């Protein structure tokens, strides 16, 4: 990747507007494009390689990406390279607006952009006002995702293989997080000393910003709904069909939710229905959900679609790889990391959770983390018997035994995830607490 330069007019004002990436080495075109954009945003001009594109998107978080489809005699393969970048962007960042930059007097560039799947085309030389209008329209469309601003806290839970306990962890963590969010809402409303007996409020009474959502993509289908003892016919396919009207009102009324406020949307029972759902629309659904909920957990344990899972990983703040200590799980974990690497996922966002943990099984959690070069979030002790008993009673373990070792381990994780809720004046966001060595505070002695 060749780093070029940043084009600005009023740097302080433009920094507030956010960066826009222009994939081009042509300084003349970049200057005209920056001039046409005016104060809409700060234009960052670079020539990213396909290998580095996903990483740079994560670093810049651009509000839009421009691709250069102008002809240059000294760059005979330029249109092909821009088309390749356009197709890669459609996979790795489907929700980021993609705009072709060309010249109306060069129809070859327009045709190449259309064949690459781009629907927006601007010419900064002949119609700079149109550049301004197109970009504003696209940005306003993405900003309408927010009914109420949240910090977009989201975690993808990705099981190394089916059966390692990803869905069980997801529903218990969601329930514990929901308790924290509900308590925070009470504190904000000046009722911190009100006694808490049972669910604080019903799920429908909490705004979505104070609720936890689960996007249940695990296999077998619907396990999260089963464990939460809820059901709804409004599944992922229905949600995608209603993307344009997927606002807070529809989410509150249509999604299955527990009394405490945890909401969940699952895959359809008839998986054949997923054939009508495109990958970009499914990723857009994830993006919509994370904009509405205080926390969004995506459970993809056992979900076998590397490109889609990689898209989720790029959209989530963190991806937690869930494994146990068995040889089969560790081999599968290596395969998952290899697939994510092949899909250009930034591995620095990966974290590790070791479930059903017992040091007597062999490799310690820290040794596993070091072996794969992933920071350890924590360990969850093997409490299979207790978890199955509660599930068979239609309960979650934290609802029955708040002091169980499994529950205590998840409570510590939830406390760190919600630190900014409980201490709003603390420096940094919820990710800033995830420092090297944090696992030492999370390893919970086994309780057999």
pLDDT in tens, the chain (448 residues): 444 455 443 333 334 347 899 999 999 999 999 999 988 888 999 988 877 787 788 778 888 999 999 998 888 889 999 999 998 888 777 778 899 999 988 889 988 988 888 888 899 998 788 888 888 888 876 554 444 444 568 999 999 998 899 999 999 999 999 998 888 877 776 644 444 444 444 555 788 989 999 999 988 888 999 999 999 889 999 998 888 788 888 898 889 999 999 999 999 988 888 888 877 788 888 988 988 899 999 999 767 778 888 888 988 888 999 999 999 999 999 999 999 988 888 888 899 999 999 999 989 999 999 999 999 999 999 999 999 999 899 899 999 999 999 999 999 999 888 876 555 444 444 444 443 334 333 444 444 4
Question: What is the tens place of the pLDDT at every residue in 125-151?
Answer: 987 888 888 888 888 765 544 444 445
Q: What's the CA gap between 401 and 414, in Å, rounded?
A: 17
Relative to beta strand 263-266, strand 212-216 is parallel
Task: Give the separation between CA 116 and CA 382, rounded to whole angstroms.
Answer: 50
Cβ-based neighbour number of residue 146 at 10 Å: 12
Domains of the chain: 2-143 (3.40.50.2300), 153-442 (3.40.50.300)
pLDDT at 13: 34
Q: Is 344 left (phi over 0), alpha (psi -120 to 50) or beta?
A: left
> DSSP secondary structure string, 287-323?
HHHHHHSSEEEEE-TT---HHHHHHHHHHSSEEEEEE
Digit-coded pLDDT (tens) for 196-229: 444 444 555 788 989 999 999 988 888 999 999 9
Distance separating alpha carbons of residues 242 and 277, to the nearest angstrom:
12
pLDDT in tens, 244-296: 788 888 898 889 999 999 999 999 988 888 888 877 788 888 988 988 899 99
The four Cα atoms 64, 429, 169, 347 give a dihedral, to 10 degrees, of: 50
For tokens 């599930």, what's the residue?
391
Distances (CA, A) of 98 to 107, 122, 183, 316: 19, 11, 41, 20
């Amino acid at each position: 990747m060749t780093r070029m330069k940043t084009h600005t007019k009023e740097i302080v004002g433009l920094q507030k507007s956010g960066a826009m990436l222009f994939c081009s080495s042509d300084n003349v075109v970049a200057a005209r494009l920056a001039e046409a954009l005016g104060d809409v945003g700060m234009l960052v001009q670079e020539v990213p390689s396909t290998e580095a594109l996903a990483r740079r998107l994560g670093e810049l978080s651009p509000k839009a990406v421009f691709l250069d489809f102008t002809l240059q005699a000294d760059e005979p393969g330029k249109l092909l390279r821009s088309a390749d970048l356009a197709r890669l962007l459609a996979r790795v960042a489907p929700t980021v607006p993609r705009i072709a930059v060309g010249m109306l007097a060069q129809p070859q560039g327009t045709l190449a952009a259309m064949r690459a799947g781009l629907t927006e085309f601007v010419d900064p030389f002949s119609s700079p006002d149109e550049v301004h209008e197109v970009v504003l329209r696209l940005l306003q469309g993405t900003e309408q995702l927010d009914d109420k601003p949240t910090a977009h806290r989201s975690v993808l839970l990705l099981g190394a293989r089916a059966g390692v306990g990803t869905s069980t962890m997801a529903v218990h963590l969601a329930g514990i997080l929901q308790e924290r969010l509900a308590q925070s809402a009470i504190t904000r409303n000046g009722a911190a000393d009100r006694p808490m007996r049972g669910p604080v409020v019903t799920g429908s009474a909490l705004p979505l910003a104070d609720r936890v959502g689960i996007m249940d993509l695990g296999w077998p289908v619907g396990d999260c709904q089963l464990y939460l003892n809820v059901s709804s016919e409004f599944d992922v396919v229905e949600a995608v069909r209603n993307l344009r009207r997927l606002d807070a009102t529809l989410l509150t009324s249509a999604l299955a939710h527990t009394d405490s406020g945890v909401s969940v949307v699952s895959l359809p029972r008839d998986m054949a229905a997923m054939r009508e759902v495109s990958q970009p629309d499914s990723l857009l659904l994830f993006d919509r959900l994370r904009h509405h909920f205080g926390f969004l957990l995506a459970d993809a344990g056992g979900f076998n679609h590397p490109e889609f899972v990689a898209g989720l990983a790029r959209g989530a703040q963190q991806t937690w790889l869930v494994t146990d200590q068995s040889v089969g799980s560790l081999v599968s974990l290596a395969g998952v990391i290899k697939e994510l690497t092949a899909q250009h996922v930034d591995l620095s966002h990966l974290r590790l959770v070791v479930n059903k943990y017992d040091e007597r099984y062999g490799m310690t959690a820290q040794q596993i983390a070091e072996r794969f070069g992933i920071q350890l979030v924590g360990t969850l002790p093997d409490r299979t018997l207790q978890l199955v008993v509660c599930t068979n009673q239609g309960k979650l373990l934290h609802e029955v035994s708040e002091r169980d070792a499994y529950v205590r381990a998840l409570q510590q994780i939830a406390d760190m995830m919600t630190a900014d809720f409980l201490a709003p004046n603390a420096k940094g966001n919820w990710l800033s607490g995830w420092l090297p060595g944090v696992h030492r505070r999370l390893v919970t002695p086994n309780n057999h």
